[in-house]
Structure 1
Amino acid sequence: MTQTPVAPTDSALPGRADEGGSIAVPQRAIAREPRARGRVASYVALTKPRIIELLLVTTLPSMILAAGGLPEWWVVLATMVGGTLAAGSANALNCYVDRDIDALMRRTTHRPLARHDVSPRGALAFGLVLGVLAVALMGAATNWLAAGLTAAAIGFYVVVYTMLLKRRTSQNIVWGGAAGCMPVLIGWSAVTGSLAWAPVVLFAVVFFWTPPHFWALAIRYREDYARAGVPMLPVVASPRRVATEIVAYSWLTAAVSLLLWPLATGWVYGVLAIASGAALIVAAHRLLARTKQGANAKAAMQLFHLSNSYLAFLFVAVAVDTFVR
């Protein structure tokens, strides 16, 4: 007795010609590609690309100031790629350590580990690999001082800020924010192989800018941090005290920025630094006034967005002044 051959189903074929002669792609192959794209997007999201952008904005002007113009293109490329890898490493490792509280905060529930789009082991390995690549690239393409500062920035952000300070003290962002100041030192040292007072001043500008910038955001998401048990200043202090400290740090930021004028820049930077510093101070005082009136969430977010623009504008002013001189 003979059996009638059964044609294989579409799912068993790598592709078949339809009546028009085109090749039909199996459904499993179609589904695999979006999943792969989604996985790549999840790993990219671990690096927090929007934060990286702001860090790179401070790196390139520091390099331009150090070189007295545009540095060698390969130094710029290596430093920017290395900086991107380093920041991505620090942010991915931060996501790994903070995966428990990220799942509790509405602002961070979309992150890959909170959504279980990436495994903790995968995130840890990804962050470590990015860090090794960053340090190796900086050492091979620039110099080992820049590479050492790169490694220190990653370690400080992950260990000192994320693991030691963030969940223990309301001054977490004050001292932990020093990691975000490191790109100016890295950029300068990548060009010169040394450090000087000018990058130290720029480091101080970012250092004093960080608390008002981050506390303004923390005012908006105070309930999130309280739910997660993170003692950000707006969680543990009165709104008036937070606004007062934001005003103080804003004045310090503007004042320190002017130290660069006689030290390493000219009148173009001086004028732009005064104007942008005044805008930052006005926004901080507006927040304090609104806080006294009992409604400060909107003013806090206005200050947060303005502080982003302030830092970018100030460092663009450094580059413009260098080229003009």
Structure 2
Amino acid sequence: MTEQSPTPEPPQAAGQVSDAVRGNWVDRLAPAATRPYLRLSRADRPIGTWLLLLPCWWGLLLAMLHTDTARWHDLWIFVGCGLGALLMRGAGCTWNDITDRHIDGSVARTASRPIPSGQVSVTGALLWMAAQALVAFAILLTFNAAAILLGVAALLPVAIYPFAKRFTWWPQIFLGFAFNWGALLAWTAHTGRLEWPAVVLYFAGMAWTLFYDTIYAHQDKEDDALIGVKSTARLFGDATPKWLGRFLVASVSLMGLAIILAVPKAMILALVIALGGPWAFGWHMVWQMRMLKMDDMDRLLMLFRSNRNAGLLPVLFFAAALLA
């Protein structure tokens, strides 16, 4: 019996970013003129959109458990958060690439991005960022006044984050501020006010961000050291697994506390089911730690992307609790 040759990977498309999945929908289906802008928004790498969206869904579902009500408008909040995450992640990534264009050109993994590679001008990127942000703002205006104010306030951490790695070893904290804001916003979009369970859930998401983005940052630690860019991956070094364990415990504990604060004590079955969310979430992070190899770039990227599945686990348990 003859041995079969492995299936070859699809050829790299012209202008493709180095860490995008080969044969992604942007390279295969998008009109050629739009591809540099879609790559600028990371549309060819959807994991960031998921990581921005999932805390929104956590906040919405936990708010629905808190009030024990579900309205048709909640369906729009659910969908609107998805559209807003796609647009604001795109706008945020565009802003990040504008501010980092000189750094990106010096890092092997990011040198192929649209701005440092010359596919998109800075002016074109600014216009593209504004267009995405304006459409996202239009969606935000369909929510209540308190949620609109929170949405506008979210621009501050988004604006600061690209500069954080220049002045702190903890830029992942600033990413956490920005990426988990949706937990506050979606809760408020349902309830009309910001309350403690949403704040605690927000900090659970921040600990999660520190977990997954430290794994992600290990891909760039050598280039970052050469150009003087700071990160938790460089700060922790060989102690990274110990710190990941701390972030895991903080994230799971805070999510559990948020659920206890949110779910009425009379809803015992719903409370028990919802608490399965952080339990499953934590076990997924334990699996990531067991699989971790800090000098295996492919493994690091795979583990980072697996956090979509980790973040979906609480969504499933919260949704099940609503049906209890």
TM range (shorter): 0.7 to 0.9
Cα shift readout 1:219-271 (whole Å, capped 9, x = no counterpart): 2332232244211122244312x322122111111211211332234111212
Partner of 1:261: 259
Cα shift readout 1:54-91 (whole Å, capped 9, x = no counterpart): 32233234223323436424444444333432222222
Identify the match of residue 40 of structure 2 among 14, 25, 46. Answer: 46
Q: Distance in 2 between matches of 1:157 and 1:39?
A: 27
Partner of 2:31: 37
Q: Distance in 2 between matches of 1:148 and 1:110?
A: 37
Q: Distance in 2 between matches of 1:143 and 1:41?
A: 35
Which one has more relative contact order, counting CA pairs under 8 Å at least 6 apart?
2
TM-score, normalising length from structure 1? 0.76
Q: Distance in 1 between matches of 2:236 and 2:277?
A: 34
CA 1:212–1:173 in structure 2 vs 1: closer, same or farther (change >3 Å)? same
Cα shift readout 1:263-285 (whole Å, capped 9, x = no counterpart): 23411121242233134235436
Partner of 2:54: 57
CA 1:134–1:286 in structure 2 vs 1: closer, same or farther (change >3 Å)? closer
Partner of 1:188: 187
Q: Distance in 2 between matches of 1:45 and 1:191?
A: 33
CA 1:313–1:149 in structure 2 vs 1: closer, same or farther (change >3 Å)? same
Identity %: 23
Would you say 1:105 and 2:111 are equivalent positions?
Answer: no
Residue type matched to 2:172 in 1? I
Q: Is the 8 A contact 1:104 1:227 kept in 2?
A: no
Q: Is the 8 A contact 1:86 1:130 kept in 2?
A: yes
Shift of 1:38: 2.2
Q: Distance in 2 between matches of 1:269 and 1:250?
A: 18
Partner of 1:243: 241
Shift of 1:197: 2.1
Q: Is the 8 A contact 1:85 1:133 kept in 2?
A: yes
Shift of 1:124: 1.2
CA 1:264–1:315 in structure 2 vs 1: closer, same or farther (change >3 Å)? same
Partner of 1:121: 123
Partner of 1:147: 148
Residue type matched to 2:154 in 1? A
SS at match of 1:104: coil
Partner of 1:24: none
Over 6 Å off, 4+ runs? 295-299
Q: Is the 8 A contact 1:58 1:312 kept in 2?
A: no
Q: Distance in 1 between matches of 2:91 and 2:151?
A: 11
Q: Is the 8 A contact 1:96 1:113 kept in 2?
A: yes
Q: Distance in 1 between matches of 2:83 and 2:299?
A: 36
Cα shift readout 1:115-160 (whole Å, capped 9, x = no counterpart): 2111111101221232233224312x112322222222233122x2
Shift of 1:298: 7.3
Q: Distance in 2 between matches of 1:143 and 1:261?
A: 24
Q: Distance in 2 between matches of 1:87 and 1:174?
A: 17
TM-score, normalising length from structure 2? 0.76
Shift of 1:215: 0.9
Residue type matched to 2:98 in 1? Y
SS at match of 1:81: helix
CA RMSD of aligned residues (A): 2.7
Within 5 Å, give how 1:6-25 maps onto structure 2.
none
